[in-house]
């Protein structure tokens, strides 16, 4: 597999991150956010996003995966859980990409059981046409076509996460 055509440049990514952070900051005015990043994919987006958010914020990570190579396995594994209690907090769950929706649906349900005061979801990329379960998404960066993408945290067999742009993958 090789890196194909560029989908989003670093510049385009940065301006979208800024726009999302501004919307989030104004929606949470007067509140404190507890941001939860889903590793590993969301790590890069998460780091950029939280630094652009202007309301008080603390964060933690959850490690989850439903993918083997380039296909979803259909069920989600949690490899590492939050270390902090989210009861009564305004939780913002941050993911790199939503595809079938299985990962986010599973994580949302897992977090809701712990009684946060509120729970919203933020995804950088949305492959809408691939959705098989319904999940409410509060903040979306870009909608993209049903094609595999890498870079800006997204991988193919652990590679390409460090690309500063997002590109299609070509066989
Ligand atoms: P879902 O559970 O099917 O919604 O899949 C979400 C997860 O699949 C994301 O957190 C990504 O890790 C992974 N994923 C889905 N599509 C892509 C892609 O195009 N490139 C890289 N990872 C992807
Ligand atoms: Mg992921």
Q: Answer yes or no: is 90 within a domain.
A: yes
Say whether 160 sits in a helix, a strand or coil.
Answer: coil
Ligand 1 centre to CA of 17 (Å) is 19
Q: What rounded mean pLDDT belongs to the chain?
A: 94
Total Cβ atoms within 10 A of residue 159? 12
Is residue 68 one of the residues assigned to a domain? yes
Residue 151 lies in a domain: no
Asked whether residue 132 is domain-assigned, the answer is yes
Whether the predicted pLDDT of 44 surpasses 90: yes
User: Which domain CATH number covers 52?
Assistant: 3.40.50.2020
Instruction: Say if pTM beats, i.e. exceeds, 0.85.
Output: yes
Q: How many domains does the chain have?
A: 1
Give the CA distances from residue 14 to residues 17, 52, 66, 106, 168, in Å, rounded to whole numbers and listed in that order.
Answer: 5, 10, 27, 29, 18
| Candidate list 48, 96, 99, 126, residue with the active-site label | 99
Distance of CA 144 to the CA centre of its chain: 14
In the residue annotation, 99 being an active-site residue is answered as yes
Q: Determine the atom of ligand 1 nearest the C-alpha atom of 103.
A: 2
Q: What is the pLDDT of residues 133-171, one digit of tens each?
A: 999 999 999 999 999 999 999 999 999 999 999 999 988
In the predicted model, what is the mean pLDDT of residues 14-41?
A: 98
């Amino acid at each position: 597999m090789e890196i194909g055509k560029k989908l989003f440049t670093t510049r385009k990514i940065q301006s979208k991150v800024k726009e999302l952070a501004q919307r989030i900051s104004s929606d949470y005015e007067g509140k404190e956010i507890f941001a939860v990043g889903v590793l590993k994919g969301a790590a890069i987006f998460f780091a950029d996003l939280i630094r652009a958010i202007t309301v008080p914020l603390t964060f933690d990570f959850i490690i989850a995966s439903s993918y083997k190579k380039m296909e979803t396995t259909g069920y989600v594994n949690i490899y590492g859980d939050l270390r902090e209690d989210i009861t009564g907090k305004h939780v913002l769950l941050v993911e790199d990409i939503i595809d079938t929706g299985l990962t986010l649906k599973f994580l949302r349900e897992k977090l809701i059981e712990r009684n946060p005061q509120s729970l919203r979801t933020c995804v950088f990329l949305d492959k809408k046409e691939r959705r098989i379960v319904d999940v409410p998404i509060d903040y979306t960066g870009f909608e993209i076509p049903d094609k595999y993408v890498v870079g800006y945290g997204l991988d193919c067999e652990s590679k390409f996460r460090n690309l500063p742009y997002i590109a299609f993958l070509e066989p």
